[in-house]
Amino acid sequence: MATFDNAYSRFVVMAKVVLPLVALGILSTLFLFSKSKDAELTIPYAEVDVESIARDQIIGEPTYTGVTRDGSAISISALSARPRDGDTTYMLAEDLQAVITTPDGTIIDIEAIAGTVDSVGNQAILNGNVQIVTSTGYQINTPSLMSSLNDTDLSSDAGVQAKGPLGVLDAGGMHLTETAENGYLLVFNGGVKLVYTPQN
């Protein structure tokens, strides 16, 4: 009986030492695995985002607003923009949208895939499937369009296709500008071909 009691006592003493050590080993193993997993999931993505922002200086959803000398309100927005070679006065933008509202109430909506805004030269150049819709009934498509930021002045020499009150036309270029009578004139030039649609 005494031998059994001694063996049991030794087992209890050993268990008190061994079991905590085993438990400590299991916890440390779980901690190490958890730490390495979290590091793999989070650190690389965080480093890429921070480095990209620091390098490219990308601006999300920028907006430019102003008033031209002839009183037209102009607003240009984009999905994103970044300075060209670190020069913040010359911005490269993607998914551009512009709205020009003239003093006589004419509204010109413009969309383009990309473009540049030069705040020193006071002009914006829109590129890639430029679509222009005016409240006077014109729908114009052109590969490239230049817009002044100081005056109501839009021009393209990249070829245009337009639908309007007179019908459908193709031309080598277009120019929208203010007239001396404080009105606005839209001129198509460069080999204009018009399919005239009579009005009822």
Per-residue model confidence as pLDDT tens digits over 95-133 = 999 999 999 899 999 999 999 999 899 999 999 999 999
Chain mean pLDDT for the chain: 81
Cβ pair 160, 140 in contact under 8 A: yes
pLDDT of 55 over the 80 cut: no
The predicted structure's pLDDT at residue 99: 95
User: What does the domain layout of the chain look like in residue ranges?
Assistant: 1-56, 59-196
Query: What does the pLDDT read at residue 30?
Result: 52
CATH number of this structure's domain 59-196, picked from the four choices 1.10.760.10, 2.60.450.10, 3.40.50.720, 2.70.98.40 = 2.60.450.10
Q: Can you give the pLDDT at residue 34? A: 46
Question: For strand 107-118 and strand 87-101, is the pairing parallel, antiparallel, or unpaired?
Answer: antiparallel
- Specify the 3-state DSSP secondary structure of 182: coil
Q: Distance between CA atoms of 27 and 167, rounded to whole angstroms?
A: 79
Would you place residue 39 in the very low, low, confident or very high pLDDT band (cuts 50, 70, 90)? Answer: very low
pLDDT, one tens digit per residue, over 135-180 is 999 999 999 999 999 999 999 999 999 998 889 999 999 999 988 7
Q: Identify the pLDDT of residue 198.
A: 79
Residue 188 to residue 22: CA distance in whole angstroms: 86
Half-sphere exposure for 68 (CA within 13 Å, toward CB): 23
Q: What is the pTM of this model?
A: 0.68
Tell me what pLDDT residue 12 has.
59
Task: Give pLDDT, residue 57.
Answer: 76
Listed in sequence order, the residues at least 6 apart from 16 whose beta carbon sits closer than 8 Å to its beta carbon are none
What does 75-124 look like in DSSP terms, one character per residue? EEEEEEEEEETTEEEEEEEEEEEEEEE-TTS-EEEEEEEEEEEETTTTEE
* Residue 189, strand partner residues: 173
